[in-house]
Amino acid sequence: MIENFRRLHPDDVRRHVVGTCFKTGPPGTVGAETEWFVTDPRDPGAPVPAASVRAAVEGSGPPPGGSKVTYEPGGQLELSSAPFPGLASLHDALAADIAHIRDALAPAGLVLTGHGVDPHRPPGFQAEHPRYLCQRDYYIARGFTEAGPQMMCSTASVQVNLDIGADEADAARRWRLVHALGPVLVAAFANSPRRAGRRTGWASTRQAIWAELDPCRTASVLRDAAESPADAWTRYALAARVMLVRGPGDSWTSDPGLTFGEWLDKGEPTLRDLEYHLSTLFPPVRPRGWLELRMIDALPEPYWTVPVAVATALLDDPRASAAAEAATARFAEAARVPERTARLNGAGPDWWGAAARRGLAEPVIADAARACFEAALSALPRMGASALVPVVADYADRYVERGLSPAFAEETSRC
């Protein structure tokens, strides 16, 4: 065990990655994080003070299902579930917690809305914690003056948390599969065609923002399928620029001007510094002792549960997993997220870019999505989650079978 404040040796980084970030065990546990914009339906473009939201939520008591309530820099409300031993129990707990928050906001005339990007309001920075202030300064100093504030203040997602794998071989298989599934998940749940009142031309403007933002910490970790997941994450972490350094008390330093590997060569960082550095890396699949899927746009009620159910079924059920591997085989060869949005029109297949731009209007991705949804629907009863079949089937009928992402469905239907 590495002591928190002992200076790190280079071998300590990989040791931490293997023992903590890629800790293996029998799969079956699932968690989820849902992010929401809080709006006033009487004036959706009006800013809602985060202080008033906090007061309403705190006054209602803790959520009954045990979810943790936090707030993003723009005031987005996040509910993070505890890990559960299956989809059914996760859904029941998180649905109860969402309802609890919704009821807490109702007397103030406020509602939870699910979009990948705030469709009405420009970025409004409301955070006071020094960490977020330094993060904002970092992005501005690095030249991401537009994408940085947009990501921090105007985006929201559904994050799915799944086990690493039963053993090293299973972990490598799941790691490759979840990256190959990335374009399908982006397209099937693309729900952010508008930003600050205007159409952007993207099905997932949220994914486009992430593709623009600081590639050393937002690009995909996977580059070579032959590279072990632990080696890939170690390489990525060492090459990423240090965003901020925590000093005594609540003091922070933004952008000290070196990568973590360069800092390590100086013999200065501790385990505490490494853990914090890893928390500032935001690839679409992040290993944290579990696989955190970060590429899915936020969705409205009742559909937030669909990506959780589909992703869990495709990774945890053996038959569904095999079907997903077959359906996404061509994406596995091009699993790397583009480092800059400018590459989206470049040569070669860029499935992540196509998914963000066109959603399920991209025929190859739409075919893969249909196969994956069919496999997931077959798997849910085997996983003790038959109660989720109707909502997943409804989503498939409304969007996936028609080759429509939610972002573009409004063009053909007002349902």
Q: Are 355 and 365 in contact (CB under 8 A)?
A: yes
Q: Are 191 and 204 in contact (CB under 8 A)?
A: yes
User: In the prediction, which pLDDT does 337 show?
Assistant: 45
- Residue 413 — pLDDT band, cuts 50, 70, 90? very low
pLDDT tens-digit profile of 100-116?
999 999 999 999 999 99
Q: Assess whether pLDDT exceeds 70 at residue 288.
A: yes
Burial of residue 58 (CB within 10 Å: 0-12, 13-18, 19+) is: exposed
Q: Assess whether pLDDT exceeds 60 at residue 348.
A: no
CATH topology of domain 10-403: Creatine Kinase; Chain A, domain 2 (3.30.590)
User: In the prediction, which pLDDT does 251 show?
Assistant: 78
User: In the prediction, which pLDDT does 338 show?
Assistant: 44
Domain boundaries defined on the chain = 10-403
Tokens at 71, concatenated: 């707030």
- Residue 334 — pLDDT band, cuts 50, 70, 90? low
Q: Verify cis geometry, omega within 30 degrees of 0, for the bond prior to 302.
A: yes
- Residue 411 — pLDDT band, cuts 50, 70, 90? low
Mean pLDDT of the chain: 92
User: In the prediction, which pLDDT does 4 show?
Assistant: 58
Name the percent of the chain in helix, strand, coil, to the closest 5.
Answer: 50, 15, 40
Query: DSSP assignment of 33-101, as one string?
Result: EEEEEEE-TTSTTS---HHHHHHHHHHT-S-TT-PEEEE-TTS-EEEEPPPBSSHHHHHHHHHHHHHHH
pLDDT tens-digit profile of 55-86?
999 999 999 999 999 999 999 999 999 999 99
Q: What does DSSP say about strands 291-293 and 158-162: parallel, antiparallel, or unpaired?
A: antiparallel
Of residues 404 and 3, the one with the higher pLDDT is 404
pLDDT tens-digit profile of 354-372?
999 999 999 999 999 999 9
Q: Assess whether pLDDT exceeds 80 at residue 97.
A: yes
Q: Are 146 and 154 in contact (CB under 8 A)?
A: no
| Max CA distance (Å), the chain | 60
Q: Are 149 and 133 in contact (CB under 8 A)?
A: no
Mean pLDDT across the stretch 397-411? Answer: 91
pLDDT tens-digit profile of 216-227?
999 999 988 889
Q: Which of 30-44, 157-171, 261-275 has the lowest mean pLDDT?
A: 261-275
296: which DSSP letter?
A: P
Q: Assess whether pLDDT exceeds 90 at residue 194.
A: yes
- Residue 2 — pLDDT band, cuts 50, 70, 90? low
Tokens at 274, concatenated: 């490494």
